[in-house]
Amino acid sequence: MEGTELAVQVVGTWLTLVLSLILLPSAFGVSLGISEIYMKILVKTLEWATLRIEKGSPKESSLKSPSSVGIIQRDESPMEKGISGHRGGDFELSDVFYFSKKGFEAIVEDEVTQRFSSEELVSWNLLTRTNINFQYISLRLTTVWVLGVIVRYCFLLPLRITLAFFGISLLVIGTTMVGQLPNSSLKNWLSELVHLTCCRICVRALSGTIHYHNKQYRPQKGGICVANHTSPIDVLILTTDGCYAMVGQVHGGLMGIIQRAMVKACPHVWFERSEMKDRHLVTKRLREHIADKKKLPILIFPEGTCINNTSVMMFKKGSFEIGGTIYPVAIKYNPQFGDAFWNSSKYNMVNYLLRMMTSWAIVCDVWYLPPMTREEDEDAVQFANRVKSAIAVQGGLTELPWDGGLKRAKVKDTLKEEQQKNYSKMIVGNGSINTESE
């Protein structure tokens, strides 16, 4: 009996501290300075660990920037220049060497596959999952690592699970209750309040530290917000600073319960699996949404899949065929404190969230870019590329033309045919020139 009373007292004290020190400040969008103190201690600890690793590592294996490390050195010259050095006439068997060289380069180190694995760190961040390139240095560093494991799994993990439980529960209950009200400005205000409050609590559950830049360019109602995609928590990161209408597929389980509750309070756009394949239906519903300037801006991730936050891949043109004003947003995470990238082919949602909650923190920068509209002389693809370039430049990301769908699908035949056409045009061109000269 005494053990039960003690357990009740411990749980009650724990919930009281969480409620007073974290939940209530999060609900009002204020900070008591606890997270700032935690981040300062964490930064100092990681800096100390970096110095210890540098001192304990051999000089020849000094830390290098991931961007400076490459398995191969690529020749980025176009096909015409690359083949012209090997050929002497219209067609020569030596042309095969150029394509073989490009094939070997792609097999050894292609530009696509490496974007679907975690970003390489410059120095170890004292997480077991990232110590592949690091080894035993000293007893002091190992002791700090052990203390870090205890802090993350015995204190931070229970705290974060508690906060996540409260955040998700309040979201489901709050949106369900607000959804019972008739459509009015009061309902819209309460809906935004519930979404903002619950998302702030969930971000605190990840020890999130977010720096927003250029807030004067925040997406406005009746517009479309597009951003690079790294993780499912991208939604939480953006919704902490403003509400959006989500677009996505209907799910089952816990995610389905959350979706059904949210759509009662806010006009989110959910599609059935069969409807997602109907582009005309999707476009129609999105156009109807942005036509109402009183509705929240739509949040879309045009890449269609999660990328490891080192680059921006091809934007699907569908989001840019709808019309309206596009509000680009660049999101850049700091992997030194925790890897936000979701490798869905390797981890399911539960494992991913567990990795997030046992990381040190989630630190990121969000840049709101000036609104953009489609020009008269550009099509949807050109407009998408222009927006993608702006996001890549602002976020310091590499811009790639490849489709993120290559994460699970094979290369489209059209891409192969494009290279074949370029080569055939070059051959035909050389042949015609030689014929004329004869």
Does a structural domain hold residue 355? Answer: yes
- What are the tokens at 43? 């930064």
| pLDDT for residue 377 | 86
Higher pLDDT pick, 64 / 228: 228
Cα(143)–Cα(39) distance, integer angstroms: 20
Report how far residue 316's alpha carbon sits from residue 283's, in angstroms, rounded to the nearest whole number: 13
CB 116 within 8 A of CB 407: yes
> In the predicted model, what is the mean pLDDT of the chain?
79
How many whole angstroms separate alpha carbon 112 and alpha carbon 110?
A: 6
Span 390-408, average pLDDT: 82
Number of domains in the chain: 1
| 228, part of any domain | yes
> For residue 391, what is the DSSP state?
H
pLDDT over 70 at 157, yes or no: yes
Q: At what angle do helices 34-56 and 139-151 cross, to 10 degrees?
A: 150
Confidence category of residue 278, pLDDT binned at 50, 70, 90: low
> What is the rounded average pLDDT of the residues 383-407?
86
Asked if the structure places residue 334 within a domain, the reply is yes
Domain holding 287, by residue range, is 208-407
Cα angle, residue 22 at apex, residues 242 and 208 outer, rounded to 5° = 50
Is 145 a member of any domain?
Answer: no
The reported pLDDT for the residue numbered 50 is 81
pLDDT tens profile 93-115? 667 767 777 666 666 566 666 67
Higher pLDDT, 220 or 53: 220
In a domain, 61, yes or no: no
